[in-house]
Chain A
Amino acid sequence: MTSSAMPPAAPAPNPASSLEVPPTGPVTAPLATPAATQAAPGTPMIAIDNVSKWYGDFQVLTNCTTATRKGEVVVVCGPSGSGKSTLIKCVNALEPFQKGQITVDGTQVANRKTNLPKLRSRVGMVFQHFELFPHLTITDNLSLAQRKVLGRGKDEAVAKGLALLERVGLKAHAHKFPGQLSGGQQQRVAIARALAMNPIVMLFDEPTSALDPEMVGEVLDVMVELAREGMTMMVVTHEMGFARKVANRVIFMDKGEIVEDAHKEDFFGSPRSERAQQFLSRILSH
């Protein structure tokens, strides 16, 4: 999979290159143009410090601590019910937590004084079920929050949306409604919608789990491109191919705990915990 490290193959097109930026098309502006951040490269963009969360008596997160540095891609995996989706929803305060602290680009998420809408507008999020707004056209889906949250004018917001739509290869669908697109197309629009806000980090919550198998690739392509452009990303996924390809670190969660937090090579080479080994053998055996 690390095609760039391999010697040039025969003149035939390298099959792996199909996963990369299509060679055709305009030589392009990057997908993402993040807003200015306080963090210098290498400093933590998302710091999760000792976070615990309960639903009533049931503890869903137990003392989770990890950090995502600027420009880093962190993949979060683990069996269902392990708390991985809950953890990344804590990052933009979609889920409250009762103990610990999360800091995004220097801003404390759980601080009462924090302007949450403003913080969230800088944290892009992509959901398992896309969650495009079904009553709005694709263009309106892309421009709504730009106009209402960032205060951009209509023309500017639409232009920005269309530019991103072109980058995810869907410009021809701008006038359609979400229900008229396939799942993979909807998810690419959802990524473009998040990017239209110039986020400083992107959170992905199982972005390919609800897709038909043949549509997984088109969504992962966009995510790979985004990662290579240096976007800071936290990705909950079972796509270990994606993790191998672009992740810097892999976090393995089980029963609400971060069991393993390792560099990709270490994680896929020899996971230290037995639970991670079992998990990997189960999802990689097919």
Chain B
Amino acid sequence: MNYNWNWGIFFDLSPEGTGTYADMLLSGLMWTIVTALCAWVIAFAIGSVVGVLRTLPSRAAQAVGNAYVELFRNVPLLVQMFLWFFVLPEVLPESWGTWLKQLPNAPFYTAVVCLGFFTASRVAEQVRAGIQALPRGQRMAGTALGLTTAQTYRYVLLPNAYRIILPPMTSEFLNNLKNTSVALTIGLLELTARARSMQEFSFQVFEAFTAATILYILINLVVVTVSGMLERRFAVPGR
């Protein structure tokens, strides 16, 4: 193989004129993290609500929850990105569509919303599993004391369910973080996109993607560490 290794490439100025290639990659990393965090806020909020809906006695609530989960987890993420970014502005009333298309940072907002809604379906399944893993008597005990359904969820079921699902939720968060790379297809300049442009400008494909790989692994190790701290912080004594 005829390849010119050049590990010094990161300190060369990129042709974009905004700094070195290293700066470019770090800016990509920043967008990856910001996108992942914003999407997670949406995913956690919607996922918790939908997960709870699926465990309520009301058939109607269950149906709404089921519909959400099946819709958002059965369509590939890439297709969902395209639907939000290319299709949605066309099917909306014209003025809204135009507003969407002219939105500054449209790829970022689209990626956050799309990834948030997609991940929410997976979070919802975790939340439902966590609630259903609790002994049936816990709900009864809350109810028998006179707590309303909402209070029983707030003070009894959810605090225990979240503790149970913390390990799989860590996996979901990591997936969410890695899935931000799909947003390069709608023009979000996140880490993978930046590694690709570095490759195209400099032809140093191995260096570019080695750096991206290491950055992904490092950031995910941070997540795993934080999750371990949370698990210890919220561990219930005597269990």
Contact = CB atoms under 8 A, between A and B. Distances in A.
9 contacts: A127-B137, A129-B137, A131-B137, A144-B145, A144-B147, A176-B237, A177-B239, A180-B237, A197-B145
B83 interface: no
Contact of A135 (B145, B146, B163): B163
A120 B237 contact: no
A120 B141 contact: no
Given A145-B147, A177-B239, 16 more contacts: A120-B144, A121-B145, A125-B140, A125-B144, A127-B140, A131-B135, A131-B137, A131-B141, A132-B141, A133-B141, A133-B155, A133-B160, A135-B159, A144-B155, A149-B151, A180-B237
A120 B146 contact: yes
A179 interface: yes
Interface string B142-167: 11111110010001100110010000
A123 B144 contact: yes
Contacts of B137: 127-129, 131
B130 to A, nearest CB: 13
A133 B146 contact: no
A127 B138 CA distance: 10
A149 B145 contact: yes
Nearest to B144: A125
Q: Which 9 A-B pairs have the closest CB atoms?
A: A179-B238, A121-B146, A131-B141, A180-B238, A145-B145, A149-B146, A125-B144, A131-B137, A177-B237
Contacts of A94: 140, 143-144
A122 B146 CA distance: 8
A120 B143 contact: yes
Contacts of B143: 94, 120
Interface in B117-148: 135, 137-138, 140-148
B135 A92 contact: no
Interface of B: 135, 137-138, 140-148, 151, 155-156, 159-160, 163, 236-239
A134 interface: yes
A178 interface: yes
Residue from A129, A135, A179 whose CB has the most chain B CB atoms within 10 Å = A135
Contacts of B141: 125, 127, 131-133
Contacts of B159: 135
Contacts of A148: 147, 151, 155
Nearest to A93: B143
A148 to B, nearest CB: 5
A122 B145 CA distance: 8
A148 B138 CA distance: 17
Nearest to A119: B146
A117 B237 contact: no
A177 B236 CA distance: 8
B236 A135 contact: yes
A48 B239 CA distance: 40
A231 B158 CA distance: 34
A134 B146 contact: no
Nearest to B156: A133
B145 to A, nearest CB: 4
Interface string A137-148: 000000011001
A286 interface: no
B198 to A, nearest CB: 48
B155 A129 contact: no
B147 A134 contact: no
Given A127-B137, A129-B135, A134 B239 contact: yes
Contacts of B146: 117-118, 120-122, 145, 149-150, 197
Contacts of B147: 117, 144-145, 148-149
